[in-house]
Amino acid sequence: MARRTPRTPRTPRRPQVDTPREGRQPTPDHATTDTSDTSDTSESEKLLFGGPLRYDMGFSKHEDAFLQLNLRAMVRRLPLLLRMTGELAREADKGALRAVALAEVGRGASSAVGLIAVNRVLAHLLAAGSTAERLGQASGALAVAGTAALAGAVLRALSTAATGQLEPKVERVATERYLAHTARVELAAVEDDEFHKLLDSAQYGASSARRMVQYCQNVLGALMSLIAAAGVLALLHPLLLPLLVAMTLPSSWAALSVARRRYLSFQAWVQHTRAGNLISRMLISTDAAPEIRVHNVGPFLLHHFRAMSQSQEAEQRRLARLAARTGLIAAGWTGLATAAAYATLGGMLWTGAMALSVGGTAVLAIRSGSSSLDNLVLQINYLHEESLFVGDLHRLCEEAELRAVPVGGVPLPEKPEAITFEDVGFTYQGDAGKRALDGVSLTIPTGKIVALVGENGSGKSTLVKLLCGLYQPDAGRILWDGVDAAEADRQELVSRVAVVGQDFYRWPFTASVNVSIGRPDVPVRQRRLDDAVGYAGAEDLIAELPRGWQTLLARGYKGGHQLSGGEWQRLGLGRAHYRAGELLIVDEPTSALDAKAEQHLFEQIRALADSGQTIILITHRLGSVRAADLIHVLDHGRLVESGTFEELLTSPANGPKTFRALYDLQAAQYAPPAQVPQQGTGRADAPPAGAGR
């Protein structure tokens, strides 16, 4: 009897990356370290990622729920698995789902009819009489067996066609679920490594759901054939059924053991795999391409890519060895069970407990039944294994619901007079003990230019991220007049805000989309686009692009065009203007602008503030904050000074002097040697032109 061996360990869900051919390229010193040992953290993991990337499975929250891959648990879970796939399939294409189900039930019925007909044929052929007579009597049953086989083939084709239609739709529906839920979660969730791990494993849920459709079809088909064969066997002799089961148990056990090991391994290695893929992507990324060449980083990355891949290969080897051992044990037990089954059958024939024609049908039914049962267990096992990933997708959706940006809330005042930070504190996840903001109380009067200044890491960007609702304070409140932003409608809050961050995104789309994506929910208007680039001083930039607004701003694509850093910054400013939020936040808006563009921008900012818009300006160029109505100075997450430009520069000798010290330091770099002011003695009215640039 042909036995299926358990699938060998595989990693189809992960992009397979070939180990690159070794070239005679220089490798760094540490390249000589043997990194193929998986028992410890590899040198590459330590060097590039600061430690092990493999998860200790003890952490797994769903170990209890999902890893009990024993036969009982698997059978218990089968209805749930079928329902999960059924729900996805129903959402994707009800008609195709119905067609698959009907075709498979029909196939089972035709298989049972076929077996019964074969039994009749054998009974007629083994009865007394001439050959012609026996053939004549068997012809009716033969015709039935032939028709059943034909019907089975047609139904199989129907089922295959409907499954082919259903599979891609199920994958699409599952992928949409994944993406839609991910897009809705809070920023803090995306930055949480546990949530990210779930994102990693759940991304395979969609392709697993697609494969589950195929396996469901196979399970249904095998189940129907099994019922047919088992029904016939039970009719022939009741002892034949347990024999059938005994023959199939060893391979079921083997398949389950292998699946369990593979899934555990996948979960433990998921982050390692992502890191390996990250390195391979860097090697082909257009952003990294210049530095890879100028600093000759290629061999370094290739070496570590190879080392990380070798660690994974070692894990695959380990799984393969275990699978081979399990398969061998299972094959031994199956051989014994098969010998026992046929010995029992022979004994029954020998003692006359069973007629010869019944014995012939029994052999056929045992062959058909054991292959169906074997196949059924294998398919259920595949189904179960895939369902673990679909389970991850479900878990992600549940988790994402809990961590989703809340919908609804208290409306914000239409024209607030001020936004007030009341004793606000915030610590980033994983940064325990290090407060990014600590007890910050300040006011942002609307319709004014408010500047935030301070040294690197003093908390300026964090403060505006809290203001935009990207993070929630863990202490204190942010009030829009009397309304606490934590209780406000987040959608409304973000619609009031436009941001040009330091790391604003450079969309790999056309210039038109790069600006209009500031308000993706409204139709693109040319006048609004022109206004936006006029504000950012980028009219000439657009006019000079090869295809104007329709120029693709992405390297590595046909017709793609590359912008300089300053040109991107102007487009980013244009995007923020296009968004038309009441609160415009500009974080280092002029870092990449030339002097003319910078001056233009500050004139525009002043004009916007005069028209009633609130501007929050973050900059290290202290000469630029002269135009601000109010300046808040942060230091190590705390507010240390507030006031106008003049107030901060002319504060009394024993008063706060952080701003003054920073300003003098910058001014000194631009003053002619003879006029370098001493710290604390510079005059507010005498900064050198362009100070801080």
Ligand X SMILES: Nc1ncnc2c1ncn2[C@@H]1O[C@H](COP(=O)(O)OP(=O)(O)OP(=O)(O)O)[C@@H](O)[C@H]1O
Question: Footprint of ligand X on this chain (CB under 6 A)?
Answer: 191, 428, 431, 436, 454, 456-462
* 29-36: long-range pairs with CB below 8 Å, 24+: 31/299, 31/300, 31/303, 35/307, 35/308, 35/310, 35/311, 36/307, 36/310, 36/311, 36/313, 36/314
Question: Residue 543, Cβ neighbours under 10 Å: how many?
Answer: 10
Least distance CB 594 / ligand X (angstroms): 21
Print burial letters for 33-63: b (CB count within 10 Å at least 16), e (below 16).
eebeebeebbbbbeebbeeebbbeeeebeee
How far is Cα of residue 29 from the mean position of the Cα atoms in its chain? 35
Looking from the CA of 39 toward its CB, the CA atoms found within 13 Å total: 0
Shorter beta-carbon distance to ligand X: residue 428 or 670: 428
Which pair of tokens denotes residue 494? 């973000």
The answer to whether the CB of 207 falls within 8 A of the CB of 171 is yes
Least distance CB 467 / ligand X (angstroms): 12
Q: Which residues pair with 633 in a beta bridge?
A: 453, 641
Q: How far apart are CA 406 and CA 619, in angstroms?
A: 32
Least distance CB 421 / ligand X (angstroms): 14
Least distance CB 454 / ligand X (angstroms): 5
Shorter beta-carbon distance to ligand X: residue 470 or 542: 470
Q: Which residues pair with 404 in a beta bridge?
A: 185
The answer to whether the CB of 569 falls within 8 A of the CB of 592 is yes
Q: How far apart are CA 53 and CA 50, in angstroms?
A: 9
Shorter beta-carbon distance to ligand X: residue 327 or 473: 473
Question: Residue 627, Cβ neighbours under 10 Å: how many?
Answer: 16
Q: How far apart are CA 436 and CA 413, in angstroms?
A: 28
Among 149, 80, 74, smallest CA distance to 110 is for 149
Shorter beta-carbon distance to ligand X: residue 238 or 430: 430
Shorter beta-carbon distance to ligand X: residue 266 or 663: 663
Shorter beta-carbon distance to ligand X: residue 256 or 584: 584
Least distance CB 586 / ligand X (angstroms): 13
Shorter beta-carbon distance to ligand X: residue 133 or 431: 431
Least distance CB 451 / ligand X (angstroms): 13
Least distance CB 617 / ligand X (angstroms): 13
Least distance CB 662 / ligand X (angstroms): 12
Distances (CA, A) of 152 to 101, 119, 147, 159, 166: 14, 18, 8, 10, 21
Q: How far apart are CA 447 and CA 416, in angstroms?
A: 10
Question: Residue 481, Cβ neighbours under 10 Å: how many?
Answer: 14
Shorter beta-carbon distance to ligand X: residue 148 or 625: 625
Least distance CB 641 / ligand X (angstroms): 15
The answer to whether the CB of 274 falls within 8 A of the CB of 203 is no
Shorter beta-carbon distance to ligand X: residue 456 or 681: 456
Q: How far apart are CA 532 and CA 581, in angstroms?
A: 13
Least distance CB 459 / ligand X (angstroms): 5
Shorter beta-carbon distance to ligand X: residue 458 or 658: 458
